[in-house]
Every structure is written in structure tokens, then in C-alpha cells.
Amino acid sequence: MDFTGKRVLITGGSRGIGKACAEAFAKRGAKVAINYVRNEDAARATLNGLPGKGHILAQADISDPSAIEGLITDTVTGLGGLDIVVNNAGVSQRHPINTVSYEEWQDSWDRILAVNLRAPANVIYWATQHFLKNGGGRIVNVSSRGAFRGEPEMPA
């Protein structure tokens, strides 16, 4: 696949699967914006390891609904446009119903839904506002086997 000239935002691109996506896109000619929340060292190391030129860092806590419009604007400014978004950032924390307190149960559901469900929806909203005015784009949502079979120790 050839992505020469394409501009790609990868949420949670500093580590793990997002880092692998960043490397794969950059290797095929794309310019990549690496979003991360707090691990700047990892994000910078990933950025410095990418082949090609013009890649950027795009720090934002995507669980904060008010941070998303700025993330898209910063990406468009930094990359000179936006063609593809990979909604990859995610968190997991164990919260088995037979051991956690009600407070921990609430905390897990709030945190996981904010990052893994609501944040991608908000990224989709603001990326689409850009795509509608600029000839379209593509959105890839990274999911989990947990969506198909459930995760007993991480029901959220």
C-alpha cells in the first residue's frame, strides 16, 4: 500500500499498536501525527525513529471532550492537512465484580468509557468536520476481541 503524501493522525501513537501503525504508515510514505497523553519520552523516541520527514507530536488527553477540536486543528496545521485518522488510544484496568469496591467499579467504567468509547466518537466528530470541507478522509477504529466475547475481569 502506498500512502505517499497522506497525512495521518494516530491517537495513542507513542507506544504499542499505535507505534507500530505510525511506523507502518511512515514506511509507506505518509506524514504522521503521534498523539499521546503523558509519556513524552516514548512519543519523542517513536517520532525520532520514523522514516521520512514532516512527522509531528500532538499531545492531548482525548478523554477530555474539550481537547479534541484543538488536537485536530494542531494536526491539520502541523501536517498541512489530514487524510486519515486511526482511533487507537485505549486503556485497560482490571475491575472484577467479585473483588472491587463500588467506588473502584465506578472509576473503571468512567475511565474506560471516556477513553475507549467517548473519545473515539469525539475524534470522529471533529475529524469529520475537517473531512466534510476538504474532500473526505478515512477513519480506522481499533477495537478488541473483548467486543466480541466479553472480558470477565474487565467488563467495561
What would the grid cell of residue 128 be? 469529520
d(CA 71, CA 110): 22
d(CA 47, CA 118): 27
User: Among residue numbers 15 through 74, which ones bind ligand NAP (CB under 6 A)?
Assistant: 15-18, 35-39, 42, 61-63
Binding residue count for ligand NAP, defined by CB under 6 A:
25
**What is the nearest approach in angstroms of ligand NAP to the Cβ of residue 17?**
3
User: Among residue numbers 112 through 141, which ones bind ligand NAP (CB under 6 A)?
Assistant: 115-116
Please identify, using beta-carbon distances, which residue of 18 and 78 lies nearer to ligand NAP. 18
**What is the nearest approach in angstroms of ligand NAP to the Cβ of residue 81?**
22
CB atoms within 10 A of CB 156: 18
Please identify, using beta-carbon distances, which residue of 68 and 79 lies nearer to ligand NAP. 68
d(CA 19, CA 22): 5
